[in-house]
Every structure is written in structure tokens, then in C-alpha cells.
Amino acid sequence: MGKSIAFSANIPSAFSLLARSTTSPNKFSQAFPVSHRNYHLHGLHAIPHWNSKFKRAHCTKSLLSEITNQGKFPKMAAQSTGPITPSELIEVVKTAAQTGAEVVMDAVNKPRNISYKGLTDLVTETDKMSEAAILEVVKKNFADHLILGEEGGIIGNTSSDYLWCIDPLDGTTNFAHGYPSFAVSVGVLYRGNPAAAAVVEFVGGPMCWNTRTFSAIAGGGAFCNDQRIHVSETKTVEQSLLVTGFGYEHDIAWATNIELFKEFTDVSRGVRRLGAAAVDMCHVALGIAEAYWEYRLKPWDMAAGVLMVEEAGGTVTRMDGGKFCVFDRSVLVSNGSVHAKLLEKIGLATEKLKSEGIDFTLWYKPEDYETDL
């Protein structure tokens, strides 16, 4: 019989599992169903053709063509969830994310206590409280697992096959301003590969905050509020809505992506910059955007979102087109159909950055953590 989910008896009331939702204010289980249904267990200025003086007609023509060969891109999800059953693992993952989300919901209409990691890189007390609440759930259920949190760093047993990547508040700047693009993101790796994920996205805005829960299990599909989701069937870049992101370090990689933003804005239905990587990738999985890319992300930014996209039928690679792992420094996710075409520009730009000495080696992998990578 599977292990039951355990909760700390001394979790403060702020960490209550009761939802605060405009549609279901009294029961968290209504807004956040605990388990899946019907599981199936067992810098471009140096590149001539990126010169901004080129006519718009020229760069538009370069991308307008229907994709007839998507190419073959390797999968990056775990082959299994190991000795823990898929249903047991996803139940704890979802509960952990939902517990953090309750902390965020409790604070969303209150004054923010903001501090700074850098000049513009914010952190709030809510980030820290959400992470503490998530850790309570993980430790009570899997005390021997390794955990990498955005705020708390690496803790736990480095000999574990499981690594939890936790972003307790993805999109902190948006949260601080009350802008509706932020989430709680929890992803679990099994021997280095994404095995289970949950993202609780905050939607609506002041006076009408609500949430929706995305979840995925390796080999079991992707879901939003327990309904199966799939990437879009859009075949061309010019019919696509694209999403990207920009980090806090305004260096050559940042400038390169500014140019990519300009180029793809010219040849697509638009490029959005919402400011929360996990949310952006969930939107690709949901089929409301065709692709998302960004440099300089961290494992907690990507671990949940990439699994969501792949399990929804999409494609995940590095921005140079290589096989992706969560410890990489770039990611491109898409519906699959437009992936190869996007790489014609994004891959070239990334190779140029590498030739100029920009570091694209693995960002960080916990010492002694064994993987199948």
C-alpha cells in the first residue's frame, strides 16, 4: 500500500490548505483537485542578416513558409518515476505546490515586504514563506530526497535519486506589482530527468484573483485542473503567438534576445514577455502560445514547465537545438511544428554567443547527485 501524505501538525494557519478562489472559496480540493483522473500507470549585431537596418520585408520573407519537416528532437523526460509510483509522486507534488499557492493567495492583496537580491531582482517575504510551506510537505513525505529551492538552496540527501526543484513564487516582480503572471512551481527529477511537475498559476488580478493547476507525470500526460491538455496544431511561425523572457543581467545574451524579439515580432502574430518562465511554458502546453525561449534560467525555473510541454505533445531543446537537461542555461519549448523553423534563427544566434565566449556549460548540478544524463 502506498505511503500516505503527511503534513506537519504545526504548520501555521497561513499555510492552510483551504483555497482562496473566487469560484470555490471554501474548499481547496475544488480549485486544486488532489490527484489525476484516469492515470496510465505502468548578441546579433555582429551577424549581417540580423542587422536592424535590414528592411522588414526581407526578414519577413525569410521565415514565411509552412513547416513540412519538424525534425526529430530527443525526449528529456524520465523513463520512469523510480520506486515511487506515479500516482503517489504526483499527489505529493501537487499538494506541495498547492500548499505554497495558499501562502501566496493569503498575501496577494496585502502590502508587500520587498527586499533585493540585485538592483532589480526582488524577493518578498511571501517567497520565503511559500518555500517553507512547500518544504514541510516534501520533508514529511520524502525525508530522504534532495531539494533545490530558489530561496533556500540545496538541502537533503545528495545520494538520493530524486531532486525537487522548487520556485516558491515564479514571477516575483509581477506579484509585487499585482500583475497577473506569477505561479508556484514544483518539479521533481528522477536521476536528473523530469519525472513529475505541478504549477499553480495565479490568474485574474486585483479584486478577482483565481488559480488554475497544471500537472504532469512522465509518460502520463499533462493536465490543467485535471483536464488533459495538448499543444496547439499551428504549423507556421507567421500564425504563431510566441513568448520569451529577459534576465536581470543586461549583457550580450540579453542584447541577443532583444534582437530575436524584434525579428520574431516582425514575422509572427506577436511576441509576449510576461515575466514568469513556468507560466510561459504552461501556456505553450495549454495550446494558447506556440513557443517560448529564454537564456540564463535556473533549474527551479524550468523543471516543471518543460515536463508540462513535453507531456502535452510539445518539443523541448536547448536554444542551440541540442538535447535539453534541467541544468542547462537555455531552453526552447514549442508545439513541435514550428520548432525547426524557430531554430534557424535562435540556434544561429546561440552559436554566435558561444563563439564569443558566453558560457553555456551546465549551470549547476548538486555535487554527488547521480544522474542518467
CATH number, domain containing residue 191: 3.30.540.10
Q: How many CB atoms lie within 10 A of CB 296?
A: 20
Q: pLDDT tier at 122 (50, 70, 90 boundaries)?
A: low
Residue 85 maps to a domain = yes
pLDDT digit string, tens, across residues 230-269:
999 999 999 999 999 998 889 999 999 999 999 999 999 9
Cell of 87: 500516482
Residues 236, 220, single domain; the answer is no
Residues 334, 217, single domain; the answer is no
Question: Does residue 198 contact residue 215 with C-beta atoms inside 8 Å?
Answer: yes
Residues 98, 160, single domain; the answer is yes
Residues 177, 195, single domain; the answer is yes
Single-letter amino acid code for the residue at 63: L
Q: pLDDT tier at 110 (50, 70, 90 boundaries)?
A: confident
Residue 22 maps to a domain = no
The backbone region for 268, taken as left when phi is positive above 0, alpha when psi lies in -120 to 50, beta otherwise, is beta
When mean pLDDT is compared over 63-67, 116-120, 305-309, the highest value belongs to 305-309
Residues 115, 149, single domain; the answer is yes
Residues 210, 283, single domain; the answer is no
What local confidence, expressed as pLDDT, does residue 70 receive? 47
Q: How many CB atoms lie within 10 A of CB 159?
A: 10
Number of domains in the chain: 2
pLDDT digit string, tens, across residues 40-63:
333 343 433 343 333 333 333 333
Residue 351 maps to a domain = yes
Residues 98, 212, single domain; the answer is yes
Residue 23 maps to a domain = no
Residue 150 maps to a domain = yes
Residues 86, 211, single domain; the answer is yes
Residues 68, 105, single domain; the answer is no
What local confidence, expressed as pLDDT, does residue 163 receive? 98
Q: What is the mean pLDDT of residues 85-104?
A: 98
Q: What is the mean pLDDT of residues 125-142?
A: 96
Q: In whole numbers, what is the pLDDT of the chain averaged over residues?
A: 84
The residue range of the domain holding 267 is 62-74+230-355
Residues 270, 191, single domain; the answer is no
Question: What separation in angstroms does the CA of 257 have from each of 50, 53, 238, 247, 342?
Answer: 11, 17, 19, 10, 13
φ and ψ at residue 254, rounded to 5 degrees: -60, -45
Residue 279 maps to a domain = yes
Q: Which of residues 228, 251, 278 is at a domain's end?
A: 228
Residues 151, 245, single domain; the answer is no
Q: What CATH number is attached to the domain comprising 270? A: 3.40.190.80
Q: Which of residues 196, 228, 260 is at a domain's end?
A: 228
Residues 312, 330, single domain; the answer is yes
Residue 43 maps to a domain = no
Residue 145 maps to a domain = yes
Q: Which of residues 211, 228, 245 is at a domain's end?
A: 228
What local confidence, expressed as pLDDT, does residue 112 receive? 74
What local confidence, expressed as pLDDT, does residue 35 receive? 40
pLDDT digit string, tens, across residues 159-209:
999 999 999 999 999 999 999 999 999 999 999 999 999 999 999 999 999
